[in-house]
Amino acid sequence: MTDRISGITLSSVTLPLKAAISDAKVLTGRQRPMTEVAFLFAEIRTEEGLEGVGFSYSKRAGGPAQFAHAREVAPDLIGEDPNDIQRLWTKLVWAGASVGRSGASTQAIAALDVALWDLKAKRAGLPLAKLLGAHRDSVRCYDTSGGFLHEPIEQVLANATASLASGIGGLKIKVGHPSTAVDLARVRAVREHIGDETPLMVDANQQWDRPTAQRAGRALEEFGLVWIEEPLDAYDAEGHAALARSLDTAIASGEMLTSVAEHHELIRHRAVDILQPDAPRIGGITQFLKLAALADHANLTLAPHFAMEIHVHLAAAYPHEPWVEHFDWLHPLFNERLEIRDGRLHLSTRPGLGVTLSEQTRGWTVDRADIGAPA
């Protein structure tokens, strides 16, 4: 007998950050320091008593929009077979077709989509990666949260020591300071501190123009970086392609794009060596799998952005050895932790995503909607 979706709970949750975060976008005046992250959680229940949990998020703005859109389209899932995920994704997109197939609308759908995949893996009694078909039981990980530009270099070095001691495999620090000389001095200090063998990446957060990116990229070659991330505007595929051809260091981008179609432009132009999709931003796991197939065909490395609780599963199921970005910001939201050992994130044996929402998450809920049968 076919199971049916009986109820959905949507929660808008505001996660406060311990300190205001600044990257190059703040130093160039384009954004304010980030003090919180807005999350949209979806909890989907079925007539047989199964439940799946998914989430999406927004930084600085957009959280209320995601919640509002999800509340409008989620009723279309009531009574549906939760196994038909691809069909349901299309149904939800058409339910809100007038607002398009990227941005806040599909990011709202992402929370529902992730919850459906979590539910499906739980029904099978498998971790999500195993349901998808894992290539590995652990994934290389690198830390970002200790390398922001608002911190003095002494603190960045202390953060690097702590990250590596915890078992994390690589480090990424922010660049894009108004003075390239300051960027180079910070990168040099970190490289000397961690040694030549530890993987090191930098992230300019789209704040360079093409000449600056070219000059900075050449100057950074000596540090043996794994990649230079977002050296240019996220939508400048031609500029990224020219940079990728001219530098030995790999070019990475993609986190700010909000659809498979936008990522396809990077792939079509051969603009990046490393693609950095974000499943919640591009519409969820269903869309991520489509993009992963395109990236695999192009022989690209994947390094999914943020949301490691989702991306460790998707990276484990990618044919080419990927990277996953480690952020401890989300720890208070979940009761479980991913194991970090020998430079890698290790999959748990728990079914689905392997996470449950903490009581603190309930306390940070600012809006909630129950659709269908209440929780």
Catalytic residue among 69, 130, 263, 305: 305
- Inter-residue contact 189 to 202 (CB < 8 Å): no
Rounded Cα gap, residues 219 and 224, in angstroms: 11
Q: 317-323 long-range contacts, Cβ below 8 Å, gap at least 24?
A: 317/129, 317/132, 317/133, 317/134, 317/135, 317/292, 318/135, 318/292, 319/135, 320/296, 321/136, 321/140, 322/139, 322/140, 323/139, 323/140, 323/141, 323/142, 323/170, 323/226, 323/274
Q: Rounded to 5 degrees, what are φ and ψ at 139?
A: -135, 140
* DSSP single-letter state for residue 79: T
- Chain centroid, CA 246 distance in Å: 28
Question: Measured between alpha carbons, how far is 78 from 348 in angstroms, rounded to an integer?
Answer: 31
Q: How far apart are CA 10 and CA 25, in angstroms?
A: 31
Kindly report the backbone phi and psi dihedral angles of residue 191, in degrees, each rounded to the nearest multiple of 5, phi listed first: -60, -45
Residue 11 backbone zone (phi > 0: left; psi -120 to 50: alpha; other: beta) = beta
State how far the Cα of 112 lies from the Cα of 119, in Å rounded to an integer.
10
Measured on CA atoms in the order 221, 227, 231, 232, is the torsion positive or negative? positive
Q: Is 305 a catalytic residue?
A: yes
Composition of the chain by helix, strand, coil, percent to 5: 40, 25, 35
Name the active-site residue from 120, 174, 263, 313. 174
First to last CA, the chain: 23
Taken in order 284, 285, 291, 296, the sign of the CA dihedral is positive
Active site residue 174: yes
- Provide the annotated active-site residues: 174, 305
